[in-house]
Structure 1
Amino acid sequence: MDLADDALRDRARRAGIAPDWTDVTGQARSVAPETLERLLALIGADEPAASVPPLVTGMVRQAIPLPSEAGTGAAVLVLESGERAEITVHPGDDGRCWVPPIDRPGYHRLQLHDREITLAVAPPRCFSLDEVARGGRMWGLAAQIYGLRRPGDGGIGDSRGIAELARAAGRAGADALALSPTHALFTAEPERFGPYSPSSRLFLNPLQADPAALFGQGRVAAAIRTAGVAEAMRRCEAAVLIDWPEAAQAKLALFRALFDGFDAAAEAGGGLAEDFAGFVRAGGALLQDHARFEALQAARLAADPADRDWRRWPAALRDPAGATVAAFAAAQDREIRFHLFLQWLADRAFAAAQAEARSAGLRIGLIADLAVGMDATGSHAWSRPSDVLGGASIGSPPDAFNADGQNWTLAAISPRAMVETGFAPFLDTLRATLRHAGGIRIDHVMGLARLWLVPDGMAPTEGAYLTYPAEDLLRLVALESHRHRA
């Protein structure tokens, strides 16, 4: 190994890329220089980083360290409750600055000199089963949503099937029902139905929603007749295996009919119209961008069925904040409103399922599944490309089961983007998963500490481990767990 390789390996270590790893047999392995160079470029290792991040995590009742660049001296601490206190940030022997201990968990604001820093102060651990069980024992069931098929669901399972299983489980004394992921997939490509390869983990798969939760059985039955999909839905329900394209086409036609009726009446106002408007306002830019992507991808595929990857679209369409996308959104306002409608429908349907699970006696209710990554051709990567490590996929090195390693073709959130945005992409994802759940399973949870990344075009054996800010992420998980009592 020459001096250039030594320097490259040192750069990789400083950037959080492990230049070495140990295989399943205990043999030490070195990462190829090409892999290190590509990953260094991918994570922006040579770009200047913010000296003081906008959010710093800490533990309750422990002093919180800040980078030396934050400065010391008199400061104002604004607690999440709005209470204000004058404090002093002290220099430490280790070169860092230290905030005195804070006795309350939460997202507090530190006003120091001319800057404001969010202090995410976490409890010692997540909300626990003991806090629910109070010394008793608990048990639950697990189910794939698409296995909970029932008459009227179109053959693919839905939130009503979840609620029915929860009621049965509650009668048997269960406390939890763990589910497969409910993340948004690709409405325009129903053949991409893998729940662990979502378009976005910030939104839901509307095909899994029971529309009767919002509109009632009578309106749904009328919409099925209007859409002319009764026979198609019965055929899908009777099939041994799921035909995702046919089932999705029928259910989306049903949703279109519901939307047409709702949209025509929405101008008159009423409870549902107000609820929908509030949902759209609360969803903000993230929700609007997801709806724009869904509409834009559908339009591109209608023109060319092979045009499925936004990374190959014209440059103007790859810019979600650009004039071309804005013009498309203005021209396709009703289509975008339909995709907003789908997310509203799904959100309210899953809220109803969790409420029914809890009312059936499940002390935890639904346990959601948070996928480890997202599809690089999907909504999140298009709307927030700086969040995502494009150009590499999550996978795993060779092991006893896969001698060639694995490439899961999933994009990861950039650890640098997490730190520089106050962990916004991570927190948004976590909160979306906790929204209608009493607990979550974090898929491949070691990804909070490190992920095996495979540069595009390279074999899984040619990947490397990228370090993530595990201490920060675990604190944020604990804090959000307590805030959601999940």
Structure 2
Amino acid sequence: MSNQVLQKLVEMRGIESNYIDAWGKPATIADSSKAKLLNALGYETSNESAVLEQVRQDTVAYWQSVLDPVQVIRQSQAINFAMRLPIELVNDSFLLCLTTEEGKQFTQNVVPVDTQLINVAEIDDIEYQEYAINFPQTLPDGYHTLQLFVEGDEQPVAQMRVIMSPDACHIPERVASGKKSWGLSVQLYCVRSESNWGIGDFSDLSRLIVDAAATGADFIGLNPIHALYPANPDACSPYGPSSRRWLNFLYLDVTQLEGYDHPSVQAIVNAPDFQQQLAEARDVDYVDYAKVAYLKLRVLTALFDVYQSTYLQSKTPQREAFNTFVEEGGESLDMLAVYDVMQEHLKELGEPSWGWPVFPNKFKEYHKPEVAKFAKKNKTRVQFYQFLQWQAAQQLEAANQAAVDAGMTIGLYRDLAVGVSEGSAEIWGNKDLYCVDASVGAPPDVLGPLGQNWGLPPMDPKRLYEQAYQPIIDLFSSNMASAGALRIDHVMALLRLWWVPKDDHARDGGYVYYPVDDLLGILALESHRNQSLVIGEDLGTVPEEIRGKLADNGIYSYRVFFFEQAEDGGFFSPSHYPVQSMSTLTTHDMPTLIGFWHCLDLELGKSLGLYPTDEILETLYTSRHKDKQEILNSLHGHHSVSEEVGRDVDYTGMTQALNFGLQTHMATGSSALLSLQLEDWLQMDKPVNIPGTFDEYPNWRRKLTRNLEDIFRDSNLRDLANRLTQARQSASTDK
């Protein structure tokens, strides 16, 4: 097969042939990788005739679609639609009818030949013409429907979704006016408290919000709190969820649910064996997900029996509210609940159950008839899992309201994972959208010299477009709920994603492009609807074009101190960071401050076999040593630490003075937002996650070293909070 034929299809499907790597050097995607990526997208590439036929089919499908499935238009843009017709129809008269989501209608008569001709093609000996139709109306923001009628007909010949969007994302007034805020980031499952059941919960979150706000914090940043796997609780990565639209019900504070005090529930809770297991779940240093899930599900099941008999079997306000929640959740909520019940059922039978790929064939897809029969047979248990989502949403909203009541500038900020895991309910419910023969990852970069494979099947950009972007709309909307900001993990995914063909090495992948301007428009619309500031995690291999687009769209950049280095190795002053950014010292994928300074991450990486050669490890040690000296130079140069902190890295360990000095140094910077890890407040040494590991290290389990009730009683931490607040006030422009 000629490369030219393959390249035609590669270009049509947005697969990149060349890119600039993380070190600024040109890189090329191998032809074999391009072919495998096309295979993952559903194309046959074994012979030239097959490729040519698929190119032809895609071309025919385009020209025989009178209107596009969807169009995203910014308020500053003129409204124009593309219309494609066989030449014999271009002189006919048509009626365009646009119905806004509020029900208001705009109509316009159009004869295509009287408008602007923009393209022509011949398909099966028939000439097709494409016209640009101007629609001179002022439309409100929102999701509208455009229909095309032949004059006199009642049924439309074509229909498309029209998404009208603001030009940029929402920015809170106090942030826009120059206020500089700080807040704490926390992995919610890590939180210890005297009352939780071995995992941080939404009540802990409410308390953290109130206590942090009292010290001057303006937000609390969370890990992704997406739905995981009730029947497979050890699949606990928040970045490999089952559904990104719904919540992890393990964060429920069971004791706050109505019905918890019922004697039947209390009999379970107060049993000696239960109390012993509960104490064990609280005391261990790493979250025991299996035990937590067992304890909570056992009590929640009994509690739901009480709630159902009390409220859901008769006409009550509670039943009406629950039914409304289920109705609004629609197919997505039903799909997740059915999936959870099915996985639970198969596990109880001792059958393979880790995800839909190992389900019996009759259950491998949500829309199969046997799945509907299963759901009907297990209606009460499906309702139970819907109930848990309802209660989780209410407790999350209570935490959000606590932030509002405390006067926080941002309040809660949530984190949207880049994808779902292979065995997820989200893929089970929308197989057409996902390419399961590929996985999302990253090419070799500073954080991952060998490249990364995250095990998350990507969305097919073409299918996403054909589904009128509804899956993305749902993701943005649901993850902005009960929050003042949304952090988008790996925000470059809006432009392109590194796809790794199944069973290939991460370095042998390639970039596939997405309709970035459309996705940014939807993001801006949902941002305004939800009054949510947007932060884009733009680390790794970041093309310049995306940075500019993010800034223009009002999205805040994500700046990590340790990556903000000049060519000579010195660290940029935080006062030089973009105002439109959130700055931080470390992230969940990095060592803590103590871990970084004492090279504990390098020691751990060596013991886990993460470094292919001793030479690579030695280079990392040498680089770390130089970086630490440059950090000391910068801190002393900016008078951010006293002489209590040494100037020579050979004699200066990580102390509280250096730790707090680094945090205060960041607070003097120009970034509008400063996020600090609660682990660094507590001077912890162990990381929560080590990228590139699976079973080698207990990722996503390590708890905080102190109970939540004790943290804000610590005079040293209250003093640190005051210093941060004062530094942020001094850096603000609205003093």
TM-score by length of 2: 0.62
Highest relative contact order (Cα 8 Å, sep 6+), 1 or 2?
1
Aligned to 1:53: 68
Corresponding position: 1:4 with 2:17 = no
Q: Distance in 2 between matches of 1:240 and 1:23?
A: 39
> What is the deviation of 1:362?
1.6
> What is the deviation of 1:210?
1.8
Q: Distance in 2 between matches of 1:134 and 1:28?
A: 41
> What is the deviation of 1:158?
0.6
The Cα offsets for residues 225-252 of structure 1, whole Å up to 9 and x where unpaired, read as 4254333222211222221111221111
Q: Which moved more, 1:117-126 or 1:275-284?
A: 275-284
Are the equivalent residues in 1 in contact too, given 2:74–2:166 (CA < 8 A)? yes
Letter in 1 for 2:16: A
SS at match of 1:77: strand
> What is the deviation of 1:306?
4.2
> What is the deviation of 1:168?
1.2
TM-aligned CA distance change 1:62 to 1:24, over 3 Å? closer
Q: Which moved more, 1:152-161 or 1:65-74?
A: 65-74
The Cα offsets for residues 105-125 of structure 1, whole Å up to 9 and x where unpaired, read as 222332333333221111110
Q: Distance in 2 between matches of 1:93 and 1:132?
A: 46
Letter in 1 for 2:96: A
The Cα offsets for residues 66-101 of structure 1, whole Å up to 9 and x where unpaired, read as 333288965333333333333466834644333336
Q: Which moved more, 1:224-233 or 1:119-128?
A: 224-233
From 197, 205, 217, the counterpart of 1:154: 197
From 391, 410, 424, the counterpart of 2:470: 424
Aligned to 1:79: 100
Q: Which moved more, 1:74-83 or 1:171-180?
A: 74-83
Structure with max Cα Rg: 2
Are the equivalent residues in 1 in contact too, given 2:326–2:386 (CA < 8 A)? yes
Letter in 1 for 2:505: A
From 196, 214, 218, the counterpart of 2:239: 196
Are the equivalent residues in 1 in contact too, given 2:352–2:358 (CA < 8 A)? no
Q: Distance in 2 between matches of 1:313 and 1:240?
A: 34
Q: Mapping of 1:229-378 within 5 angstroms?
A: 229-265=274-310, 266-304=312-350, 306-378=352-424
Aligned to 2:187: 144
TM-aligned CA distance change 1:333 to 1:216, over 3 Å? closer
Aligned to 1:98: 134
> What is the deviation of 1:104?
2.7
SS at match of 2:84: helix
Which consecutive residues of structure 1, in runs of 5 or more, have no partner in the other structure? Answer: none
Q: Distance in 2 between matches of 1:235 and 1:130?
A: 46
Q: Distance in 2 between matches of 1:277 and 1:98?
A: 43
TM-aligned CA distance change 1:419 to 1:413, over 3 Å? same
Q: Distance in 1 between matches of 2:375 and 2:104?
A: 42
Q: Which moved more, 1:3-12 or 1:149-158?
A: 3-12
Aligned to 1:64: 79
Q: Which moved more, 1:258-267 or 1:98-107?
A: 98-107
Are the equivalent residues in 2 in contact too, given 1:191–1:244 (CA < 8 A)? yes
Corresponding position: 1:383 with 2:437 = no
Query: How many residues are treated as equivalent by the alignment?
Result: 483
TM-aligned CA distance change 1:94 to 1:191, over 3 Å? same
> What is the deviation of 1:164?
0.5
TM-aligned CA distance change 1:356 to 1:88, over 3 Å? farther
SS at match of 1:68: strand
Which consecutive residues of structure 2, in runs of 5 or more, have no partner in the other structure? Answer: 44-53, 120-131, 150-155, 533-735
Identity %: 31
> What is the deviation of 1:132?
5.8
TM-aligned CA distance change 1:123 to 1:210, over 3 Å? same
> What is the deviation of 1:477?
0.1
> What is the deviation of 1:276?
1.7
Q: Which moved more, 1:375-384 or 1:94-103?
A: 94-103
Q: Distance in 2 between matches of 1:217 and 1:284?
A: 28
TM-aligned CA distance change 1:212 to 1:66, over 3 Å? farther
Q: Distance in 1 between matches of 2:186 and 2:25?
A: 39
Q: Distance in 2 between matches of 1:108 and 1:323?
A: 33
SS at match of 2:73: strand
